[in-house]
């Protein structure tokens, strides 16, 4: 089970940190990703991190603004979002999979999502 937290309504330019806590004894077996879905839009890849935390990948739209990290001692994945823009408004989902990268179908487990709103 994956549970996201940290979503909020913030102003453009603000920062926000999303967290995803996993209820599993095999947390380190999984790669994790963050995806987002804006109203009326398709699900969009945001960032991913491999099992060890040694490899990360980002969507071009968030590169240099967002940072994905994981704490394997606390079974938690974070998404630090800086310099937020109105176009970052979406429901953000945490996902877990093995050998997963940027494609949503690679991920087996999904959280319920957390809303991030950045008014224009």
Residue 41: how many other CB atoms lie within 10 Å:
9
**Mean pLDDT of all residues belonging to the chain:** 95
Read off the pLDDT band of 49 (50, 70, 90): very high
Model confidence over 15-48: pLDDT tens digits? 999 999 998 878 888 999 999 999 999 999 999 9
Segment 50-56 shows an average pLDDT of 93
**Contact 57/45 with Cβ under 8 angstroms?**
no
> How high is the pLDDT of residue 85?
98
């Amino acid at each position: 089970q994956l549970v996201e937290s940290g979503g909020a309504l913030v102003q453009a330019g603000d920062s926000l940190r999303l967290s995803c806590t996993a209820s599993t004894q095999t947390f380190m077996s999984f790669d994790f990703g963050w995806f987002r879905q804006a109203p009326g839009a398709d699900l969009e890849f945001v960032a991913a991190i491999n099992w060890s935390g040694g490899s990360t990948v980002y969507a071009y739209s968030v590169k240099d603004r967002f940072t994905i990290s994981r704490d394997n001692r606390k079974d938690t994945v974070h998404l630090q979002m800086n310099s937020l823009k109105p176009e970052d408004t979406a429901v953000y989902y945490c996902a877990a999979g093995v050998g997963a990268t940027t494609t949503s179908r690679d991920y087996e487990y999904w959280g319920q999502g957390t809303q991030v709103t950045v008014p224009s």
